[in-house]
Structure 1
Amino acid sequence: MKLSKLVGDRFKERPSDCVIDSHALMVRGGYMKYVANGIYSQYMPLRRVCQKIEAIIRDEMDKIDGQEVQFPVALPASLWEESGRYESVGSELLRFKDRNGSKMVLGMTHEEAAVQLVREYGQTYAKYPFMIYQFQTKFRDEARPRAGLIRVREFTMKDAYSFHTSQEDLEEYYDKCYHAYERIFARAGIPETIAVASDSGMMGGSLSHEFMLLTPVGEDSIAVCPECGYKANVEAAENIVENEAEEYQELKLVSTPNMHTIEEVCEFLNSSAEKSCKAVVYQKNSNDEYVVLFIRGDLEANETKLTNFLKEEIHPAEITLESGLHPGFIGPYKMDANVTVLYDSSLKGGCNLCCGGNQDDYHYTGLCMERDLPDAEYHDFAKIVDGGICPCCKKKAIKVSRGIEVGNIFQLGTKYTKSMGMKYLDKDSKEKYPIMGCYGIGVGRLAASVCEAHHDEYGPIWPMTIAPWQVHLCCVRPDNEEIKNYSDGLYEQLQNAGIEVLYDDRKVSAGVMFSDADLMGIPVRIIASPRNMKEGCCEVVTRDKSVREKVALEDVFATVQKMVQEALAR
């Protein structure tokens, strides 16, 4: 490909709306263009990166007996009504009607379509197990798309669905996919990706893992224990708190005028957040019923855990006078409001706490949970904290880091096959529901994540396996006949050998040429210039700056060919 013909411009200035480096570099480098909030068009360089990622994924999926299929983008709402998700999934699912008034959705995930495709086929145990996968455009109406391709509304995803007749068979295949994902990320250039236990969310299922690229710009928080190797998304990680036994103090109602926040109350009472019980109030989306969660004052509520426990979506409450609640003064002792009350496990064994008095301008001190609220039931609703107790080894060693989710795998069980009536006859001619697994990778997000992990201030540093081209040939001074003839010949020779070359044949300054080359991020660069030609050589440079050498003109082809082959073989 000649750079003079490549559609898309490159420029120096960082766009003001790009909050992370990968987003800025991919816009500056002519990889993509903004269309609408969370929606981008892709230029040729990004298409080539994504196609190579797809080829790696396809190779690994085929190796574990995957069969590539394709589902529609637009789906009848009736499929989602069968599974029960048409109503349960929130506004992320784009719903619309076609010209005939039929309800439709834009697919944000394709479990329903997968079941619909194979439920007639899979009516006997002899057909199992099998796995189908696709690459497809999806639309998820994200509330806050950001960070370029990291969080978008329209995206291309590889999603795979496996079907099994036993949990043991699912677990065996799940393990195969787990290791296939490790190979995919290593081949794509981010072997440092880690797998963490995660929450299944709207997908459902009993077990799930997310593959995370640890980076400060990531949107997800990951709990890692360096002592035992435990790793989990904070949404799924159990928060463990140990409260020390103390001698009970008298429960007292004290005046706390205009003290609404934990910080204000604790300062006024000369106490600490750890010795307080705070109320976090939500409402159920279905009926606006109030849910009051009591939790230790220094901890944050984990809305994912709360949603999973309630089995329905929630939102922060708007507290009205009719609710019987006193904002800023809500406490668990003698609360008579008609609400759902929950207790976080951080309060179990808690003693001599301060809490709301359930009347304006008053708080209790000396609250002891076992004495004053003996019937309380405790569940884990808190976010795990940095320095917290590891759920696995029980040491205070948890480190919370940020990460980008680049892939996920789920054991779905019979959630979809049962709701959609997919059955098979087993060996004893008894009807049973197949057990499913689900395995996803966002292609564009993976490309952006590799860029985020491997770049410098000048541009991406693409690994050879997914680089848009393998070699960048810079013809400095193409108006010089000798340089032009040599560059043209080398370009043809490399292409004939099956080496992918981006040939900069433009009449621009060396500074512009090298700046654009950095933005393209191609692993190997050949520089043919007047100075080099006088010395009978070309300069061969790698994008990561690890190699910079002058190579005799007659040896350039063989040298570069060897570099490409060795890089691909790693």
Structure 2
Amino acid sequence: MKASQFLISTLKEAPADAEVASHRLMMRAGMIKKLGAGIYTYMPMGLRVIRKVEAIVREEMNRAGAVELTMPVVQPAELWQESGRFQAYGPELLRIKDRHERDFVVQPTSEEAITDIGRQELRSYRQLPKNLYQIQTKFRDERRPRFGLMRGREFVMKDAYSFDRDLEAAKRSYQQMGQAYRAIFDRFGLRYRAVAADSGAIGGDVSQEFQVIAATGEDAIVYCPDSEYAANMEKAEALAPAGPRAAAAQAMTRVPTPGKATCEDVAQLLGVALTTTVKSLVLATDQHDDRGNVVKTQVWLLLVRGDHGLNEIKAGKVPGLDGFRFATVPEIEAHFGTKPGYLGPIGLKQPVKIVADREVALMADWICGANEEDYHLTGVNWGRDLPEPDTVADLRNVVEGDLSPDGKGRLAIERGIEVGHIFVLGTKYSVPMNATFLDEDGKPKPFQMGCYGIGITRLPAAAIEQNNDERGIIWPDAIAPFTVVLCPIGMDRSADVKAAAEKLHDELAAAGIDVMLDDRGERPGAMFADWELIGVPHRVVISDRGLKEGQLEYQHRRDTAASKVAVGEVLDFLRGRLAA
């Protein structure tokens, strides 16, 4: 490819709304152009990256035995109503009507559509297992699209779906996809972790995320440096501290804490460690009648140590707390007799269900709100000052240095960007959609399903977050828009430079190397700056001076200086670098 035939549209400055490195650099490198909020045109340079990502994903999915198809972007609402997700998915699901006032959705994912295919096409156990996948446009109506391709509304995703006879077979398909995903991400040349994860809105009981390590990542990844344990923050278990609970050593005392409504402020005022305080979080669950009206509300008090944060995913798994919301101020005042900031489990106006974090359940002589504005209680103890909690559960986010759940060391935390997620769905979709097959005994059984996604257009952004410097992008070879760029100096003035550049270009292309020849006649500084910004990993400079010495200049994008390579050896040299 020659630059004069291509579209290169680099910018000196990024748009003001570009917040993270990948967004800034993709815009400056001319890889994407914003069309609307969270909606981008993939420009030729960016599309080359996306096509390379797709090719690797497609090769490994095919190697793993998956079969490709394509499902519609716009899908009938009836399928989503069958699964129950038309109502439950939330505002991220773009719902539309056609001219006949029939409901449709713009797909954010395709569990319903693939389940419909499965129930029509897979009638016998002899056709199982089966894994079908697509690489297709998706749309999620993000409330606040941001970070370019990292959290856009329209995006491209690879989603695969497996159909199996039983749960054991479904888990085998899941493990097979896990191996395929590792092969995919290994080929991308990125640092990543596979972590245990919560299944979220997709559903299922077993899931794993693939996270590209990046300091700017939105997700916290919890891992043990001394073992294989890894999980996202939502899933990471906080072990119960070693018991037994210490005996009470203080009398419960009501102390004035004027204007001190946080655990941090109270600890500072009283001159005690924050770890001796307990924060109160008030939740509510509603029961509805057949018409959707609230007929009963249960208020819950969750107790977490003052220096810990509530993990809402864990809270939602406490029996009875599924679908919880945070209580309103009137509900709090009715049950506790005071406004938030001074709440505690003692002296309630109306009964609530109390759930204590594992850590809090073993604390003695702790501090909490007195249910009276500007007052707290010190020296609080279970059993003496209040009954034992109704429930003890893991409610908190883990912190660095916590014991690893596998007992093999202590936990560390780093940031990551989720680029892949695999699930065992079980019968979450097959049962409500009546998707069955005839088993060996002649009886119909629901499919055991799995779901496997990769963010095709998010991956380039994640790669940039991990690989960039002050000059621009640094692409791994496998997904670079071009692998090698030839930068001839004075090509428009020197017949020798022009001939050498075109000869090398043709040799590299014939060898199957993805090469770009910059024949635009740019000054060296501007030409080098463009390709450093774009991030092509291998650069060869051709000049009159070098040719007279029988040498060309090679520089990898990460190198601080160029090295000399003999003209006759450059092809073999590049082959060696690419193979390495």
Q: TM-score band, normalised by the shorter chain?
A: over 0.9
Deviates more, 1:429-438 or 1:267-276: 267-276
Q: Secondary structure at the match of 2:516?
A: strand
- Residues 437, 30 of structure 1: alpha-carbon distance in 2 compared, 3 angstrom cutoff: same
Q: 2:335 aligns with which of 324, 332, 335?
A: 324
Q: Secondary structure at the match of 1:507?
A: coil
Aligned to 1:266: 267
Instruction: Show structure 1 runs of 4+ deviating over 6 A.
Output: none
Deviation at 1:558, TM superposition (A): 4.7
Deviates more, 1:265-274 or 1:470-479: 265-274
Deviation at 1:415, TM superposition (A): 0.7
Q: Secondary structure at the match of 1:538?
A: strand
Deviation at 1:258, TM superposition (A): 3.2
Work out whether 1:517 is the aligned partner of 2:527: no
Aligned to 2:305: 296
- After TM superposition, list the pairs within 5 Å mapping 1:15-94 onto structure 2: 15-94=15-94
Deviation at 1:154, TM superposition (A): 1.4
- After TM superposition, list the pairs within 5 Å mapping 1:410-489 onto structure 2: 410-482=423-495, 483-489=497-503
- Residues 443, 333 of structure 1: alpha-carbon distance in 2 compared, 3 angstrom cutoff: same
Deviates more, 1:419-428 or 1:550-559: 550-559
CA distance in 2 between partners of 1:63 and 1:99 (Å): 43
Aligned to 2:248: 247
Contact 2:263 2:274 in 1 (8 A): yes
Deviation at 1:514, TM superposition (A): 0.7
- Residues 159, 471 of structure 1: alpha-carbon distance in 2 compared, 3 angstrom cutoff: same
CA distance in 2 between partners of 1:332 and 1:72 (Å): 53
Aligned to 1:381: 395
Deviation at 1:252, TM superposition (A): 3.5
- Residues 316, 6 of structure 1: alpha-carbon distance in 2 compared, 3 angstrom cutoff: farther
- Residues 258, 456 of structure 1: alpha-carbon distance in 2 compared, 3 angstrom cutoff: closer
Q: Secondary structure at the match of 1:342?
A: strand
Deviates more, 1:193-202 or 1:10-19: 10-19
- After TM superposition, list the pairs within 5 Å mapping 1:22-421 onto structure 2: 22-190=22-190, 192-242=191-241, 244-283=245-284, 290-309=299-318, 312-320=322-330, 323-325=334-336, 326=338, 327-337=340-350, 341-371=354-384, 372-393=386-407, 395=409, 397-421=410-434
Deviation at 1:555, TM superposition (A): 4.2
Percent identity at matched positions? 39
CA distance in 1 between partners of 2:543 and 2:423 (Å): 54
- Residues 347, 559 of structure 1: alpha-carbon distance in 2 compared, 3 angstrom cutoff: closer
Contact 1:525 1:540 in 2 (8 A): yes
Q: Which amino acid is 2:232 matched to?
A: N
Deviation at 1:559, TM superposition (A): 4.1
Deviation at 1:116, TM superposition (A): 0.9
Contact 2:355 2:389 in 1 (8 A): no
Deviation at 1:430, TM superposition (A): 2.3
CA distance in 2 between partners of 1:255 and 1:499 (Å): 75
Deviates more, 1:362-371 or 1:276-285: 276-285
**Could you report, residue by residue, the CA deviation over 1:62-83 in whole angstroms, capped at 9, with x for unpaired residues?**
1111000111111122211111
Q: Secondary structure at the match of 1:235?
A: coil
Q: Which amino acid is 1:280 matched to?
A: L
Deviation at 1:525, TM superposition (A): 1.8
Contact 2:356 2:389 in 1 (8 A): no
Q: Which amino acid is 1:537 matched to?
A: Q
Deviation at 1:56, TM superposition (A): 0.8
- Residues 166, 348 of structure 1: alpha-carbon distance in 2 compared, 3 angstrom cutoff: same
Q: Secondary structure at the match of 2:172?
A: helix
CA distance in 1 between partners of 2:115 and 2:389 (Å): 45
- After TM superposition, list the pairs within 5 Å mapping 1:469-548 onto structure 2: 469-482=482-495, 483-545=497-559, 548=562
Q: Which amino acid is 1:52 matched to?
A: K
Q: Secondary structure at the match of 1:117?
A: helix
CA distance in 1 between partners of 2:112 and 2:549 (Å): 65
CA distance in 1 between partners of 2:459 and 2:521 (Å): 35
Q: Secondary structure at the match of 1:70?
A: coil
Contact 1:262 1:297 in 2 (8 A): yes
Q: Which amino acid is 1:263 matched to?
A: E
Q: Give the paired residue count.
A: 564
- Residues 314, 47 of structure 1: alpha-carbon distance in 2 compared, 3 angstrom cutoff: farther
Deviation at 1:529, TM superposition (A): 1.7
Deviates more, 1:300-309 or 1:159-168: 300-309
- Residues 262, 509 of structure 1: alpha-carbon distance in 2 compared, 3 angstrom cutoff: same
Where do 5+ consecutive residues of structure 2 fail to align?
A: 289-293
Deviates more, 1:165-174 or 1:413-422: 165-174
- Residues 301, 454 of structure 1: alpha-carbon distance in 2 compared, 3 angstrom cutoff: same
TM-score for both structures, normalised by structure 2: 0.91
Q: Secondary structure at the match of 1:416?
A: coil
Q: Which amino acid is 2:387 matched to?
A: L
CA distance in 1 between partners of 2:382 and 2:72 (Å): 55
Deviation at 1:247, TM superposition (A): 2.7
CA distance in 1 between partners of 2:568 and 2:279 (Å): 76
CA distance in 2 between partners of 1:503 and 1:306 (Å): 57
CA distance in 1 between partners of 2:298 and 2:4 (Å): 63
**Could you report, residue by residue, the CA deviation over 1:408-439 in whole angstroms, capped at 9, with x for unpaired residues?**
11111111111111112221122221111111
Contact 2:334 2:349 in 1 (8 A): no
- Residues 545, 534 of structure 1: alpha-carbon distance in 2 compared, 3 angstrom cutoff: same
Q: Which amino acid is 1:126 matched to?
A: R
**Could you report, residue by residue, the CA deviation over 1:284-322 in whole angstroms, capped at 9, with x for unpaired residues?**
598586543222222111112223435644554441276
Contact 1:273 1:298 in 2 (8 A): yes
Q: Which amino acid is 1:218 matched to?
A: G
- Residues 308, 489 of structure 1: alpha-carbon distance in 2 compared, 3 angstrom cutoff: same
**Could you report, residue by residue, the CA deviation over 1:441-486 in whole angstroms, capped at 9, with x for unpaired residues?**
1011111222222233212222222221222111211222412233
Contact 1:222 1:231 in 2 (8 A): yes
Contact 1:408 1:439 in 2 (8 A): yes
CA RMSD in angstroms comes to 2.4
Deviation at 1:241, TM superposition (A): 4.0
Aligned to 2:291: none
Q: Secondary structure at the match of 2:81?
A: helix
CA distance in 2 between partners of 1:370 and 1:401 (Å): 39
Q: Secondary structure at the match of 1:266?
A: helix
CA distance in 1 between partners of 2:345 and 2:533 (Å): 59
CA distance in 1 between partners of 2:35 and 2:265 (Å): 46
**Could you report, residue by residue, the CA deviation over 1:109-160 in whole angstroms, capped at 9, with x for unpaired residues?**
1111110111122222111111000101111222343332222221111111
Q: Secondary structure at the match of 2:198?
A: coil
- Residues 317, 532 of structure 1: alpha-carbon distance in 2 compared, 3 angstrom cutoff: farther
Deviation at 1:394, TM superposition (A): 6.8
CA distance in 2 between partners of 1:263 and 1:39 (Å): 42
Q: Secondary structure at the match of 2:279?
A: strand
- Residues 3, 373 of structure 1: alpha-carbon distance in 2 compared, 3 angstrom cutoff: same
Where do 5+ consecutive residues of structure 1 fail to align?
A: none
Contact 1:8 1:43 in 2 (8 A): no
